[in-house]
Amino acid sequence: MQTLKFLFGYTRNQRLPLIITVLSMFCLTAVQLVEPKIISEMIAIVKAPFVDGFSYVPSSQLVGKLALIGTNDPSQLTIPGVIGRLAIIALTFYLFRAVFTFLRSYAAHVAGWGAVADARRDIYRHLQRLSLRFYEDQKTGDLMSRMVNDSDMFETLIAHAIPDTIVNILLFFGVAAILLGYSAKLMLLTLVPIPLIVFAARGFTKYVRPAFRNRQKEQGDLNATLNDNLLGIREIKAFTREDIEAERIGSHISRYRDSLLRALRLMATFHPFVEFSSSLGTIILIYFGGQLVLQQRLPLEDLVAFFLYLNIFYQPVRSLSGAWENIQHAMAGAERVAELLNEEPDVVERPDAITLPERADGAISFNHVSFRYVDDQPVLEDITLHIPSGHVVALVGPTGVGKSTLASLIPRFYDVREGSITLDGHDIRDLSLRSLRQQVSIVLQDVFLFHGTARDNILFGRPDATEEEVIRAAQIANAHEFLQALPEGYDTIIGERGVKLSGGQKQRLAIARAVLKDAPVLILDEATSSVDTQTEMLIQEALERLMVGRTTIIIAHRLSTIRSADAIVVLEGSRITQKGTHEELIAVDGLYRQLNEVQNEIEPRYAMLRERRRLAQVTA
């Protein structure tokens, strides 16, 4: 019931098309119930005795029936007139049926796809609210499957299963009432198979819905694996993993097929059972109805009419088995969607959150901050650090000591477990997430660019910027020259994740994006790594321009890039162990001096290796 309540919640905005659907269904049901009766009455009129082959003999039996074709006076009707009026009545009848069928079908689809659109919007908004910790444990393809494939089932329920069920229930009871008028005894006998069908439906539900849910899960796993492989196609080719990955994808395809076939096998068993059970009613009617006719307790024409109506009577029963399959599909999808929507975000905005001014000063303080991931060892412990507005602070230390995590706490990608972080004296948990994150620009080592033009990616943080501002941001980022050289300039499509650009170009485009956003707090996480020396110089120049007037936090392993920082903070074992300028830290024995000495030894070796490689290439 909870799942159905959840599904019907998405019909609130679809009241008008649903009302049209329901009214059309009532009209269609009425038309279907009246159709056999109209045809029967028409035949009764046509087969009446004629005078001279042209006009009806007055008959008390016909007076009521003739009202159907617009008169109570049989002597005024001729054969052509009767046939003409009957044709007009039939035409009108079928036109009404066509109109109601269209209204029911189209209005139901409007309601169904409207509900799907509302559900998908809710899912995406909810996904945006969830913290990064949630995404660390999820597969992108599975989330996409829940948003697209599982929500798709809502339309099947609203536009098909529910309307079909309502129509068939109405038709069932309508025909039952008519059959009671013919023979109550035969009517009760034909109901014998119904409990069997109801019992079977309840039993199959126990197995069918979990089967369809498992099928949806396997589809999500297939989508997730396929998404990973398509994004990592370069690595697959580089490591000649084509055959292995093809086998892995094939395995997921097979599991999805098997899970689907298991669900369909259950339904394939259910449908014949329903067909067989409904045919028992016909067998009962043949035996007992035939006995009543032989005993002259039931007119033969009534038995024929009973057979015709019985076919309509069991039609809803057969149709309901198909609707039941659609309902199980939809319920399985709804359960997966509801499970996702019930996921609570770790980072929550307070109802009375403060909105910062358009541009904050950028003073940041960490006050006895501790952080750990769920059920993990502490990543940060008792971190106390003040960064004045406009100052540059570098975070250094071995891999895994929490440098990136510390920076990620500022825009509240994660929330601290203990202590607090303030921005201009405000606890960041008291600020609205939007106004807080508008104050922060981030340039990462692993740059993410969206499929689209270079201009679109620069404008990402500030879509209303002018052309002059876009070009100015690119010039500051040392990106203007290479952007102009692209085939379509700034309007060149750069591909998914910027695949058409080099690493250095992507980095500079990301810097241009940060420049245009013009936030007072800047986080640079290994922004100059993995590029050649010449490109590093271009990026470093761009970063120097970007850092002017901004509170900057730099995470870097290459110590040569942070010597000019106002303060260098050394993290070791989840704590701050040293803090000072480059000169102050070099002067004392500690981790920073050790790291600096190691890099001073390694850099000449790297330079010598590069020179040897260059000479070898020249000689070759």
Residue 567 CA, chain-centre distance (Å), reads 45
Q: Is the pTM of this model over 0.75?
A: no
How far is it, in rounded angstroms, from Cα 447 to Cα 501?
11
The count of structural domains within the chain is: 3
SS3 state of residue 315 = helix
How far is it, in rounded angstroms, from Cα 315 to Cα 178?
15
Q: Do residue 541 and residue 405 come from a single domain?
A: yes
The predicted structure's pLDDT at residue 505? 83
Q: Do residue 545 and residue 577 come from a single domain?
A: yes
Domain termination residue (choose one: 318, 341, 364): 341
Domain termination residue (choose one: 488, 518, 548): 518
CB atoms within 10 A of CB 282: 16
Q: Do residue 162 and residue 231 come from a single domain?
A: yes
The predicted structure's pLDDT at residue 364? 92
Domain termination residue (choose one: 316, 341, 366): 341
Q: What is the CATH number of the domain that holds 610?
A: 3.40.50.300
DSSP, res 270: H
SS3 state of residue 620 = coil
The predicted structure's pLDDT at residue 38? 65
Strand 392-396 and strand 551-555: pairing?
parallel
Structure tokens at 563: 């010597």
What is the residue type of 363? A
Q: What are phi and psi of 554, to 5 degrees?
A: -110, 130
Range of the domain at 478: 444-518
Mean pLDDT by 10 residues, the chain (620 residues): 70 83 81 67 56 44 52 54 68 82 85 85 84 77 79 78 75 77 74 73 69 77 78 69 82 84 74 71 74 71 67 69 69 79 84 84 91 79 91 87 88 89 90 88 81 86 86 84 86 81 82 86 74 66 79 83 86 88 88 81 61 56
Q: Do residue 512 and residue 533 come from a single domain?
A: no
Q: Do residue 112 and residue 206 come from a single domain?
A: yes
Q: Do residue 90 and residue 134 come from a single domain?
A: yes
Q: What are phi and psi of 429, to 5 degrees?
A: -75, -15
Q: Do residue 433 and residue 295 come from a single domain?
A: no
Q: Do residue 384 and residue 269 come from a single domain?
A: no
Structure tokens at 407: 């920076």
Structure tokens at 238: 């580089």
How far is it, in rounded angstroms, from Cα 526 to Cα 391?
18
The predicted structure's pLDDT at residue 421? 92
Q: Do residue 198 and residue 302 come from a single domain?
A: yes
Burial class (CB in 10 A: 0-12, 13-18, 19+), 29: buried
Which has the closest alpha carbon to 420: 376, 364, 374?
A: 364
